[in-house]
Structure 1
C-alpha cells in the first residue's frame, strides 16, 4: 500500500517526513501513545497538546502502556466519543492496522506519529528520517573505533523505526565488515523499548564477548541498560556506546565519558507539525494532495 509523502529538512541533519495516502466549536483530536517509558514521549505529548490548544482544538488522550490490544480499545472509545482525527504512536506496527481500519469505518482519518503503521491505507505518517539516525550513529562510532568487535542492540521489531535505524547503521558498517576491520559479534533486538531488556542483552553479550569494543544502541533509554551492564564489569567508558534522543541522562553520561554520542532530534518540530496537520485534516475533513509516496505494506 502506498502513502503520499512530503519531506522537510529539520536540524541536526535529520528529516521530518510527512506521508499521506490518498460540529462543535472545537475540533477534537485523539492522541494515542504507546507509553511514557522513554523520556522523550512526555515532551511530545506536552508540545502537541499545547499546539492543539493554540489552534482552538480539544485533545482527547490515552496511553496503552505497551499493550496493543489496550491501544485498540482506546481507539474504539475515542472514535465513539466523536474525535475528528486520530493521531497514533503505535505499540505494534502491524496490529495498529486494525485501528486505521476501524477509524475509516467511522470516517475518521489517521495520522501515524513517528512510527509507521503497516498494511493499511494510512492517511498520514510524520516521522524523522530514521535511516539517517542509524547512519549518524554508525559514522560516529566508526570514526572513534574503526576496527574491532561490535555489538548491535536494536529496538523491537514491532517498531518499523528499529529496522530503519539498523539499515542506516549497516549501510555504514558494510565496507568495514567487508574489509574485516569490524566484526559484528552480537546482534539482537529487544522485545520492547525498555532499558531492562537492553541490560539483559548486554550482560549476555559481555558473557560471550568480554572484549567487545563498541555497541550501536538504538536510543538513549536502551543505552542506559547497556551502560549499567558495562558498569558492573568496570567497562563503562572503555566501550564505545551510541544513543538517540539526547535524553538528559544520556547527555550526563556523555559528559562523564560513559556514552560517546547521541543523535538529537528536534521534538518540537515534529510535535508542532503533527498538531498542525491534525487540525488541518480535522477542519477540512480531507488530507492535502502531495506528489510523493512510500510503500507501507
Structure 2
C-alpha cells in the first residue's frame, strides 16, 4: 500500500515538474518602445504582442516616454529578468548603443525596430526603406509643384530615419535645385516627432516666406502642426504638404484637400515580421536570409526593409481602408 502511495506521489510530482518546466520554457521577448505619442505605435505593440502569443512566446514590455536614460534602465531590468531577445524602438539612435553592449554581455541578441541603432554591433534591423520614403514624398511634390519655393521640415536628428528620409528627398530635389526651378528657402529639423514642433516651425517659415509653395514634411504628426499653421493664414489646401504614416487625421486632411499625400507603411507587415524574427532568434532557430545589410556606422547589420506606398485622394480607399490596422 505504501509503495502504491509513494509511486502515486512520484508520478504526480513528475507531472507537476513537466507542467511547470513547460510553462517556464516559454521564450521571453523583451520589447522596449520610445513612447505612444504618435497614433501608430499602439498598433505596432498590439500586433507584435498578438503574434508573439500565437507563436507561444511571452512578451515583456516597457516604454521610455522619450527618455533615453529610462530606456537603458528598462533594458537592464529586462536583461536581468532573463529575456531571450530584446527588440528596441530606440529613443536615441546613439545612446541605445549602450543597450546593445549590455545585452551582449548577457548573451542576448538585439533587434532594432523601425529605427536604426548606430555605432554598435547590432544583430538585426527591421524597418521600411526610409530612403525610399523620402524619395516618394519628393517625387510626388515635384510632380504637382515642379517650380517654386520649398520648405523641408525633418524629424529629430536623434532618429536615423530622419536623415535617411531627408537624403531621399534631396536625391529627388537635386536636379530641380540645380536648374533653379526649386528653391529650398526653409530647412529645419525638429527636436521630437510632435505636432507642436511642426506648428512652431511652419509659423516661423511663413513669417519669412508667406508665398511658400510646398512643404516636405517628414511625418503626419508634424504635418498636423504644419497644416494648423497654414489654416491660420488661410493657406491650407493652397500649399502642397507631404506626410508619412497614413494616420487617421492625415487621411482626413487628404480627403479634405489640405494635405496632398502621405506615405503608408503597413504596420501589420512590420510588427508581424519583427515578432516572427524575434521568436526565431529567441529559439535559436535558423533565421531566414534578410533582404539587405545596413551600415550603422560600425557594422553591416542584417536588415529586412519593407515596401512603403504613396497614398493620395485617389488611392486612399485601395490602400488604407482594406487594412485592419487603420480605423
Structure 2 length normalisation: TM-score?
0.82
**TM-superposed deviation, 1:76:** 0.6
**TM-superposed deviation, 1:24:** 2.2
Greater mean deviation of Cα atoms: 48-57 or 279-288: 279-288
**TM-superposed deviation, 1:22:** 31
Contact residue 153 and residue 217 of structure 1 kept, 8 A: yes
* In structure 2, C-alpha distance between the alignment counterparts of 1:119 and 1:32, rounded to whole Å: 19
* In structure 2, C-alpha distance between the alignment counterparts of 1:22 and 1:279, rounded to whole Å: 17
Residue 153 of structure 1 is matched in structure 2 by 153
Contact residue 215 and residue 242 of structure 1 kept, 8 A: yes
**TM-superposed deviation, 1:291:** 8.8
* In structure 2, C-alpha distance between the alignment counterparts of 1:53 and 1:243, rounded to whole Å: 33
With a CA cutoff of 8 Å and minimum separation of 6, indicate the structure with the bigger relative contact order. 1
* In structure 2, C-alpha distance between the alignment counterparts of 1:146 and 1:118, rounded to whole Å: 35
Contact residue 214 and residue 241 of structure 1 kept, 8 A: yes
Residue 293 of structure 2 is matched in structure 1 by 293
Root mean square deviation, CA, Å = 13.3
**TM-superposed deviation, 1:288:** 5.9
Contact residue 155 and residue 189 of structure 1 kept, 8 A: yes
Give deviations 1:4-57, integer Å, cap 9, x for gaps: 999999999999999999992211000000111111111110100000000000
**TM-superposed deviation, 1:191:** 0.5
Residue 17 of structure 1 is matched in structure 2 by 17
* In structure 2, C-alpha distance between the alignment counterparts of 1:40 and 1:70, rounded to whole Å: 22
Change in Cα spacing, 1:41 to 1:27, as seen in structure 2 (3 Å) is same
What is the DSSP-based 3-state SS (H/G/I as helix, E as strand, rest coil) of the residue aligned with 1:20?
A: helix
Change in Cα spacing, 1:256 to 1:203, as seen in structure 2 (3 Å) is same
Change in Cα spacing, 1:13 to 1:256, as seen in structure 2 (3 Å) is farther
Change in Cα spacing, 1:9 to 1:84, as seen in structure 2 (3 Å) is farther
Greater mean deviation of Cα atoms: 151-160 or 1-10: 1-10
* In structure 2, C-alpha distance between the alignment counterparts of 1:6 and 1:250, rounded to whole Å: 69
Give deviations 1:128-184, integer Å, cap 9, x for gaps: 000110111001100111100000000001100000000110011011000100000
Gaps of 5+ in 2: 298-327
Change in Cα spacing, 1:278 to 1:215, as seen in structure 2 (3 Å) is same
Give deviations 1:82-132, integer Å, cap 9, x for gaps: 110000000000000000000001110000001000010000000100011
What is the DSSP-based 3-state SS (H/G/I as helix, E as strand, rest coil) of the residue aligned with 1:120?
A: coil
Structure 1 residue runs of 4+, over 2 Å off?
1-25, 285-294
Residue 71 of structure 1 is matched in structure 2 by 71
* In structure 1, C-alpha distance between the alignment counterparts of 2:3 and 2:124, rounded to whole Å: 7
Contact residue 150 and residue 215 of structure 1 kept, 8 A: yes
1:284 aligns with 2:284: yes
Greater mean deviation of Cα atoms: 254-263 or 284-293: 284-293
* In structure 2, C-alpha distance between the alignment counterparts of 1:246 and 1:160, rounded to whole Å: 20
* In structure 2, C-alpha distance between the alignment counterparts of 1:148 and 1:138, rounded to whole Å: 13
Structure 1 length normalisation: TM-score?
0.90
* In structure 2, C-alpha distance between the alignment counterparts of 1:173 and 1:15, rounded to whole Å: 68
**TM-superposed deviation, 1:81:** 1.1
* In structure 1, C-alpha distance between the alignment counterparts of 2:62 and 2:221, rounded to whole Å: 22
**TM-superposed deviation, 1:295:** 1.6
Change in Cα spacing, 1:289 to 1:13, as seen in structure 2 (3 Å) is farther
* In structure 2, C-alpha distance between the alignment counterparts of 1:284 and 1:222, rounded to whole Å: 40
Gaps of 5+ in 1: none
**TM-superposed deviation, 1:293:** 3.0
Equivalent residue pairs, number? 297
Question: Equivalences for 1:217-232 in 2 at 5 Å?
Answer: 217-232=217-232
Change in Cα spacing, 1:248 to 1:261, as seen in structure 2 (3 Å) is same
